[in-house]
Structure formats: structure tokens, C-alpha cells
Structure 1
Amino acid sequence: MPTAPEVATHVPLAEPAHPAVGAATGLLGAYTPGARFLGTPTRTLLAQGTHSEVPHDARPLPQRVAATLDAARAAGHGAPLVVGAVPFDQTAPAALAVPDTARTAPPLTADPLIALPADPPAAARWDIRPVPEPEVYGAGVAAAVERMWRGEFSKVVLARTLELTSTDPLDIPAMLQRLARRDPSGYTFALPTAPGRTLLGASPELLVSRRGNRVVANPLAGSTPRSDDLAEDVRRAAALLESAKDLHEHAVVVDAVHRALAPYCTGLTVPARPTLLRTATMWHLSTTVTGTLAAPETSALELACALHPTPAVCGTPTDTARQVIADTEPFDRGFFTGMVGWGDAAGDGEWVVTIRCAEAEERSLRLYAGAGVVAASEPAAETAETGAKFRTFLGAVGAEL
């Protein structure tokens, strides 16, 4: 009988103190489209209204955010936060704002009511269009692998999308409930990115957090789908821990995170081997990197911008991988594989990699999923992996491939 491998858990910034039953799920239930919701392993946040928006100009994003927070405080805002999303392309406009009000509660996992099941999806007819078609995606993977064997680059993350159109208006609060209750220990979000458009999802991956001088990053790379059969699920997890391909892919990402954070920290702790992190649909190789911040003025967002994009969402070398992505993917990633999160005027915050997500607008959804392609990759396996990753969101809306 196989034994269950060690499983990593998300590292909180602070332990909650005797949370009230219903506090976190109350904020989840109070979400309405246009508000900003974030559920993380450290807190549940519901932000409403817009006090001020972070402008898009030539200044680096952390400078613009700091100036917006300073201006909000000077205008009488008691405890300003910035909340929102940053796109994959950091030169594109972000969707970040200081809300009028922000209510917080302990994390969803600390609320016993999160165990209550969400209402099942209402019956709906979905028209599903893959972009690109799976065969085209597989051909893109094969072309990338061939170039890697020629030594042009070592890794690229290639994504595909599903465009879903419903006969009925979308019920975004109900989708959020199902995402949050299915994976309450992860990072659940629903954020406006344009008038009438919402970015929502349930990401397993912390890019970086900062509380005081403590820095935490949790890179994920290397994954395999879960199984409903317990013995097979354990076998897949154990095989992932021994997979030379996935361990190499993971090591490349961890090394990149280490090198990006080192200039900002007086010391970093990087475990020698990854552990496993599980979601409802996937097993992931996971490493929790911790450090001590060298300069107190360095914000969580500044650290996040220094890390983004990691090889887990782009590839290696970064510039070459970006070009391969642009040449191969027949769509604009937008906020997919960017980052979502919050930051305060003291520089504390949490920024999460924007995966397992979709953009919702009226009756349509665009779902995104990507896979890390290395020289040992097989097109059919990477296509299947992206299909498994779509399951997080398909289950939330009652659709099937």
C-alpha cells in the first residue's frame, strides 16, 4: 500500500486569533460584481468602492502605487490599501485601485462554515471554443521542443484558452463561492479589470509576501493531474516527486526566485528538495523560500515586480521565451500569468501568480491554462495537463470539455 507523500501548505503571514464563526464566509457572501475580493491563507479581504486608481505612466509600477497610497493618506484615508491585478506584460495598464472601504476577516480555512458546500451550478447551455485547437497547441509544443534540442532556449510556458459563451447572464458571485469552497486554502480572487469585466480564479501559487522584514515566496513548477482513485492519486504524487523532467523544471524556477530575491534580503532559506502541494485538481511540486528583508522601504510589490515573470509562467531565458510565447499563442494573455494581490502604505502585502483563472463579461468567459515545456516534453502530455488545469474553472460553471 503506497504511503502519502509529504504535502506542503501555504505559509501564513500571521496566525489568526480565535476567528468568529462566519466572519470570512460572511465577506465571501457579501461580494457583488465590481467589488474586489481576495481570499488568502492569511486573511479574507472585501474591498468596495474606488477612492483612487493607480495611474498608468512612465514611472515604475511600485513608484506609482506608493504615490497613490501617499496621496490617499494625505487626502484623509485612514488606512489605504491598493488592491487589484497586474498583467503579464508589466508595460501594459494595471487594474489597481485604493478602495473606499476594505473589510478583513481571518482566512477562509479558519471559518468552519467554509466546509458547507456551494450551490451547484444552474443548468446552462455552454458553447465552448478552444483557442487554439488542441492539435494546434500540440504542434506549438512540438515546435518549441525541436528548437530546444537545437539549443535556442531551455524552457517556455505555452498556454491555450477556452472561450465559453452561455445563453444566460453569468452569476459571478456563485462562481466565486464554488471556487473558494473547493480550494479554501489557496488564493481566491474576483477583481474588476474593466467596466463590466471581472478577473476571477483560484490560484495555488504565492509569488511573494512581505510582513515587516519577513519575505516568503512559494514557486510551483512541475505538476500532474489528481485522480479520484486514492491509490492512483498517491501513485501520481509519488511519481511527480521522482520525475527527473519535473524536478529539473522546478529547480530552474526556484533558482530564478533565489537569484531575484537575493539582492533584497540579508539571508534566504531555500530547501534542497521540493514537497508537494495539492489542489482539488492538481499535484504541484512546491518550494517555500523564506528570507529577511534588508531594507524596510522595499515593498512587497517591488519584490513581486523583481520576480515577475518567473520561469514558471514564462520560460528561460526570459526574453527568448517571451518571443516564443508571442509567436506561438494566438491571443493576448492580458492578466493571465500576471499577478493579483494587495499592498499597504507600510510596504506589506501579498502578490499571487494569476493562474487557474478566467475573465468574465456578460455571458462569456475566457479560461486560461498553460504548461511548462522543456526538451523532454511530449505534446500530448502537455495538452492533457492544460486540459486538467481547466477543470478548476469548468467545475465552477458546470461545463465540460
Structure 2
Amino acid sequence: MIDEEISNLTTIDAFIQRKQPFAVYRIPGEKVPRLLTQAEGAVRLIYDLKELNGQRGFVIAPFQVSESCPVVLIQPDQWGQPLSVDDDTEEDRKVALRLQGQESFLTSSTEEYAACFHTFINALRDRTFDKLVLSRHLTVDKVADFSPLSIFRAACKRYIHSYIYLCYTPQTGIWLGSTPEIILSGEEDEWHTVALAGTQPLQDGRLPQVWDEKNRKEQDYVASYIRRQLLSLDIHATENGPYPAYAGALSHLKTDFRFALKDNKGLGDLLKVLHPTPAVCGLPKEEAYQFILQNEGYDRRYYSGFIGWLDPEGRTDIYVNLRCMHIEDKQLTLYAGGGLLASSELNDEWLETEKKLQTIKRLIAVPPLKS
């Protein structure tokens, strides 16, 4: 088993060296990740989500589409051998022990975050917006023996309820993430999206059952938005929720929306009306989107965009790109955000972003696979 994984690790390193696009991903509930790559031709670059209509491939979309951050579609011509992450080895058990209790939170916010928070909260208290999402990024040095595939494998084993991915294209660079939020999944006449908002830590590993007004209100904004956006395309969904759901060491409130589509070739149109949801942006949507671009103070790039397999004639599984990092030659950039309402408090929101960053931070110390 380890020999097979060493081989796959070498293969993925070779993809990056050759600048060959690839993606490896694990869907929640599945044990075996999938590996795909495009050996021939260039990936497709897209600047309007409607151009995804009728397309098939692995899509990587940014928060804001631009010349420097286009939507990228990997159209695979090769599928690799599946990677197993199911068998525990002695090294896995050592890693699991090391990760237990590995929480290192900065309890005081930075001046930069605090300044952005006050800009955002003033706009909310002036009632310009119902909700805004303020995010931040953290850059750390990459150690010499850093192994993206080892971290991918560790994430698959630790975060069984999340969508885990590792991907590379020359346009995007290397991204790795562990996200709980579906933006669109399904096939044939059964489709699914979710409203996911509000955050609490798990309580002794269990889902919290009591949620305060701020969290319930935040989730209701997202659910109401999705309901309206679906109806704008004459899509009538059945709903289940809200209920608490796992997201790593955290929990969110979740509402499921299930529906049929008249024409599965219009998935780009549907993604365009859903993205970005208030879970990563705010309300009113367009005004909140512009406010974030002008006041957040940095470029989110592919964080809070969406990522996954798109196939109008088969199975589609696309997730919002949360709890992720951008892997560069000498550094790693981690991303996290939180929903703000007029009642939000600085220290609470800062600590929430710290806990979300921990999803990936706790994996960075994972040692590389050894031969």
C-alpha cells in the first residue's frame, strides 16, 4: 500500500514539474480518491460562468473572475490509479497522536484585521448590508520536505465529512483544501445544494444542539437567498433543515435543497446565480460583493470560489472552496473567513477565523510519506 502511494506521490510531483494539470479529490462518504490529469492541450480558460453550460471537466473558479484569476477547466484525458487512504499504518497512528489537541490560537486580532472588521461592522450597523463576510489570509514558510500528497492523505483520514482535494494548473498554481459546503451536486433529475452558515466548535466531538440568534439569523439569510435564486430559474426545491452538520472540528447549520432540472446542460447558468452565496459574500449580493473587493484589503483568488467535477451527462460534485491553502515554492497561504452581522463582536469573529485556519494548519506538520 505504501509503495503504491510513493509511486503516486512521485507521479504528482512529476505532473507539477512538467506543468501538467491534475486533480485528486475525495468526495464525502467515499473511501477511494480519484486522480485525473490532462496530458494533451491547454486547460480551458473561462471568464463568464455561463460558458460552463454543457461542459465536462474539473472546474476551479475564483471568488472574482479576472484576467489573472480565470475560471479554469481541466478536461482530463488520463485517469490515474485510485489512491487508498483507508488502511491505518503505524505512521498514521503516530500522526494522529501528534494532531490530537494541536490547537494554537492567537487570541488577539491583528491591527489589520481589526481595522477591516470596524469598516465592515460600521456598514452593517448603518444598515447598508444585512450580512457581510470578512476573510483573512495567513502566510507561513514551507518546510523543505513538505509533501502536498501526504497532507491530502492526512486530510482524507481526519475530515471524513468534507470534500478533500489537491489540484494544479499552470494558471492557478497548487491548491489544497478540505471543504464542507456543496454548491451543486447531482445527476439526471436529482440535484442538491445547501445553505451552510453559523459556526460553533464541536462539544466533546458531538454536534451542538443549541444555537444562538446570531448564528440562526446568519444561516437563515443564506437559506432565503438560495431559495430566491432557485426560484429565479423556476426551480422549486424541497427543503430539509436547518440542522447541525460536521465540518472538521467545527459545526455549521445546514439546510438541504433538492430539486430537478429541466435541462442539465444549463449548469453554468445555475452556478452563476448561486455564486457567490451569502455564506462567502453577503447581502444584498452585488453590493456586498463590490464592498468586499474594495475594503477587504487583499485578493482572495480561488478561496471562496468553487471547485470540483462538472458533468451534465453524468455525476457533478462541486464545492465552495473553503478551508484551503495555496502552495507556492517557499510559502503556504491559508484562508478563512466568517459571516458578520450588526451584532458581531471583534474577538468572537477573530477566534472563529483562527479555528477555521486550524483545519489546515494542524495538517502542515504531517511528515512526508517514506519509502
Q: TM-score range by the shorter chain?
A: 0.7 to 0.9
Q: Distance in 2 between matches of 1:57 and 1:180?
A: 30
Q: Distance in 1 between matches of 2:338 and 2:7?
A: 33
How do 1:240-389 and structure 2 match up within 5 A?
240=211, 243-264=212-233, 266-271=235-240, 273-299=241-267, 301-344=268-311, 346=313, 348-389=315-356
Residues 1:267 and 1:104: Cα distance change in structure 2 (over 3 Å): farther
Give the corresponding residue for 2:177: 201
Alpha-carbon deviation of 1:263?
Answer: 4.1
TM-superposed CA distance for 1:27, in Å, is: 8.0
Unpaired runs of at least 5, structure 1: 1-21, 70-80
The alpha-carbon deviation at position 38 of structure 1 amounts to: 1.3
Cα deviations by residue, 1:327-370 (Å, 9 ceiling, x for unpaired): 33221100000000011252641110000000001221000000
Look up the match of 1:223: 199
Which residue does 1:237 correspond to in 2? 208
Q: What is the deviation of 1:304?
A: 2.1
Q: Counterpart in 1 of 2:134?
A: 158
**Preserved CA contact (<8 Å) 1:265 1:291:** no
AA in 1 matched with 2:239: V
Structure 2: which amino acid aligns with 1:277? A
Spell out the pairing of 1:39-50 with structure 2 (5 A cutoff).
39-41=26-28, 44-50=33-39
Rounded Cα–Cα distance in structure 1 between residues aligned with 2:89 and 2:188 = 32
Q: Distance in 2 between matches of 1:352 and 1:28?
A: 28
Residue 146 in structure 1 maps to residue 113 in structure 2: no
Task: Supply the RMSD in Å over aligned alpha carbons.
Answer: 3.2
Query: What is the identity, as a one-letter code, of the residue corresponding to 1:200?
Result: L
Distance verdict in 2 for CA 1:57–1:293, change over 3 Å = closer
Aligned equivalents of 1:95 and 1:118: distance in 2?
37
Specify the SS of the correspondent of 1:120. Answer: helix
Structure 2 residue identity aligned to 1:288:
D
Counterpart AA for 2:252: H
What CA distance in whole angstroms lies between the structure 1 residues aligned with 2:313 and 2:44? 20
Shift of 1:326: 2.1
8 A contact 2:282–2:288 mirrored in 1:
yes
Query: Aligned pair 1:96/2:96, yes or no?
Result: no
- In the TM superposition, residue 42 of structure 1 has moved relative to its aligned partner by 6.2
Query: Partner amino acid for 1:239?
Result: V
SS of the residue 1:397 aligns to: coil
Distance 1:366 1:311 in 2: 23
> How far is 1:45 from its partner?
1.8
Mapped partners of 1:29, 1:369: distance in 2: 33
Choose from 4, 8, 24 the match for 1:30: 8
Structure 1 vs Structure 2: percent identity of aligned residues? 24
Separation in 2, partners of 1:119, 1:49: 36
Alignment length (residue pairs): 343
**Alpha-carbon contact 1:28-1:37 (below 8 Å) kept:** no
Whether the 8 Å contact between 1:186 and 1:202 is mirrored in structure 2 is: yes
Match of 1:113 in 2: 87
1:298–1:347 contact (8 Å) kept in structure 2: no
Q: Gaps spanning 5+ residues in structure 2: where?
A: 17-21, 99-103, 367-371
The one-letter amino acid paired with 2:247 is T
Q: Is the 8 A contact 1:169 1:363 kept in 2?
A: no
What whole-Å deviation, never above 9, does each CA across 1:116-161 have from its counterpart, x for those lacking one? Answer: 837639x9xxxx9x9x962321332233222212111111100011
Deviations 1:211-258 (CA, angstroms, capped at 9, x unpaired): 00111012210001235xx2xx65x81232xx1111111011011111
1:18 is aligned to: none
Give the whole-Å Cα distance in 1 for the aligned partners of 2:356 and 2:175: 17
Residue deviations 1:267-305 (CA, integer Å, cap 9, x gap): 31123x411111332111111111111224323x44222
The letter of the residue matching 1:45 is R
